[in-house]
Amino acid sequence: MIDSVIDFLAPYTFLIVGAVKAVIIAIGLLSSVPLLVWLERRLMGRFQVRLGPNRVGPFGLGQPFADSLKLLFKESIVQNSADKFLFYLAPAVVVFTAIVTFSLIPFGKPFEIFDQKIGMWVANVNVGILFVFAISSMGIYGIVLAGLSSNNKYSLMGGLRSSAQMISYELTLGLAALGVIMITGSLNLQEIVDAQKTVPNILLQPLAFVLFYIAGVAETNRAPFDLPEAEQELVAGFHTEYSGMKFAMFFMGEYINMITMSALITLLFLGGWHSYIIPVPDLLFIGPLLVFSVKVFILLCILIWLRSTFPRIRYDRLMTFGWKILVPLAMLNLMVTSVFIVIF
Amino acid sequence: MELLIFYPIAALAVVLALFVVFNKSPIGSAVSLIGLMLCLAGVFIGLSAHFVAILQVIIYAGAIMVLFMFVIMLLNLKDDDNVIWKSREGNTLLTVLTGFLVLGILYKIISITLSADSSKPAKIMESFGTTAEVGKSLFTTYVLPFEVASILLLVAMVGALVLAKTKID
């Protein structure tokens, strides 16, 4: 009986493994969002010489759960003038694209268990990094649609600003990543990591790293580039009219994007799961996963540090900075890299 | 197996294409068009042309449709029942000509598809549709059309800049 079931399922093993991996990633990501919110609030508290949330549970760890419960049970208000369908669609697009983007991130060496070779990723696509950019550019629509469907001028301005900003900085992001792609000669994220076994790309492409980091911060709409939700001018930007869980979904999208961007920087520039100075044993999959997680964690902390350090940039300065400084620098980096590749 | 994926995607594409035409609100049309582009990308993946599928998403669904959205946002277009679209007199000839052009293209496509021998499908190479293959054929076999298209885009860009500049000055 069991043998026949196993025989029947054998050709579909890849489907079962894939589904299990997808579920693990989706649940893991969604449950890491409250923890990240907690981390941000605690660290922000420290940076600003105050305590941060510390009343609910040990170290205030209960706070994010209390907050999410509150948001879940909050009344969801949809104003009459809104375009209902698009109003509901927008937060879903944001969260969906954020999770799908992360599914393309490999976060460890493939390992073998029960004669099954299991890779630490949901999908290993040949054009991996392009796919990441494609799906994350779909994420803009969530914000644009939220701005459009709310029927509110602050939302509209927020949506307009954010789409302009994301389009501008996507260019820098792509050009900076191209330097790494040219060195490796592959678009596959796993091969890019494998090529950094001895030297991480940050030493070969320091300028590209800086550009990618700045553009990445802008791309995730984080301070100092959080113009779309500049509260002094725009109330809350594109999510002014959203309340309850739909409002929380925009935040979920933003925090998942933060994790994805940190993971992408780790893969492209910091050597992914390779550890350089301290040797780390493999231990099935725990060693590489630990190295990768530590790198991502440090990058996340730097993102939070940036937010509490820098004031928001003025909007015209943001555009000038993007188009007149970052893009030419990225092109220069690309040219220098290609000259070096041709010579050596 | 491939047909199981192809038919739903193709049906969705047709429905979305109809939505683009018949939707009254410009936002609805634009959103349907984005969905249509994504469906086409799905069809490309079914044909194992992964790189082209990604380009479809990045360029059409991503870049071009964002510009459409921009225009809609800047003009603040709303679905308005009072606006009735009338074809102008001079457009009739153009409409008929375009109709004939589309019919001709469709006829050609259908005749090519029907004349092909479906019992012996062509073998797909291992490297088919990869970035390297697409890049190679773009810069060797199709280098002239590729460059002509890029010059066309450049001309359009310069033209837009010139028009905008004269208005500002």
Write down the pLDDT at residue B77: 61
Return residues 116-155 of A near B (CB < 8 Å): 125-127, 130-131, 133-135, 137-138, 140-141, 144-145, 147-149
CA dist A2 and B53 (Å) reads: 41
CA angle B132, A183, A225 (to 5 degrees): 100
Return residues 160-179 of A near B (CB < 8 Å): 160, 163-164, 167
The answer as to whether B46 is a domain residue is yes
Write down the pLDDT at residue B25: 78
pLDDT tens column, A191-205: 888 888 888 888 888
Is residue A315's pLDDT more than 70? yes
Q: State whether B70 and B139 are in the same domain.
A: no
Mean residue pLDDT of chain B comes to 82
pLDDT tens column, B85-130: 555 566 778 888 999 999 999 999 888 888 876 666 666 676 777 7
The answer as to whether B111 is a domain residue is no
In this prediction, the answer to ipTM > 0.95 reads no
Domains of chain A, by residue range, sit at: 73-343
Q: How far is CA B78 from the centre of its chain?
A: 24
pLDDT tens column, A127-151: 778 888 888 888 888 888 888 887 7
Contact of A305 with A47, CB cutoff 8 Å? yes
Q: State whether B6 and B68 are in the same domain.
A: yes
Q: State whether B135 and B73 are in the same domain.
A: no
CA dist B97 and A38 (Å) reads: 63
How close A299 gets to chain B, by Cα (Å)? 27
Write down the pLDDT at residue B107: 92
Is residue B49's pLDDT more than 60? yes
DSSP state letters, B73-114: HHHT----TT------TTHHHHHHHHHHHHHHHHHHHHHHHH
The answer as to whether B98 is a domain residue is no
Determine the residue of chain B that is closest to A133 in CA distance: B58
Both tokens of A188, joined, read 């596959």
Write down the pLDDT at residue A51: 83
Tell me which of B18, B50, B78 is where a domain ends. Answer: B78
Domains contained in chain B, number = 2
The answer as to whether B122 is a domain residue is no
Q: Which of helix, strand or coil describes residue A129? A: helix
Both tokens of A37, joined, read 């919110």
Both tokens of A243, joined, read 């309340």
Is residue A100's pLDDT more than 60? yes
CA dist B36 and B34 (Å) reads: 5
Query: Measuring CA to CA, how many Å separate A37 from each of A118, B120, B162?
Result: 31, 58, 48
Q: State whether B68 and B139 are in the same domain.
A: no
Residue with tokens 């025989």: A7
Is the peptide bond between A224 and the residue preceding it cis, with omega within 30 degrees of 0?
A: yes
Residue with tokens 């004269």: B166
* Residue B20: pLDDT band with limits 50, 70, 90: confident
The answer as to whether B88 is a domain residue is no
The rounded percent of chain A whose pLDDT value lies above 70 is 96
The rounded percent of chain A whose pLDDT value lies above 90 is 1
* Residue B6: pLDDT band with limits 50, 70, 90: confident
Q: Report the pLDDT averaged over residues A258-268.
A: 89
Contact A156 B73 (CB under 8 A): yes
Q: State whether B74 and B7 are in the same domain.
A: yes
Interface test with chain A among B4, B36, B54, B126, by most A beta carbons within 10 Å: B54
How close B57 gets to chain A, by Cα (Å)? 6
Domain of residue B168, residue span:
130-169
H helix runs in chain A, sequence order: 2-9, 13-47, 63-73, 84-102, 128-149, 153-184, 189-194, 201-204, 206-219, 231-234, 244-269, 286-309, 315-320, 327-343
Find the helix or strand (DSSP H, E) in which B71 lies: helix B65-75
Contacts of residue A188, defined as CB under 8 A and 6 or more positions apart, other chains included, come to A124, A125, A126, A127, A128, A129
Write down the pLDDT at residue B152: 94
The rounded percent of chain B whose pLDDT value lies above 70 is 83
CATH number at residue B14: 1.20.120.1200
Is residue A120's pLDDT more than 60? yes
Nearest CB to B58: which of A125, A133, A148? A133
Write down the pLDDT at residue A225: 77
Query: Measuring CA to CA, how many Å separate A66 from each of A33, A56, A246?
Result: 13, 8, 17
- The β-bridge partners of A112 are A117
Mean residue pLDDT of chain A comes to 82
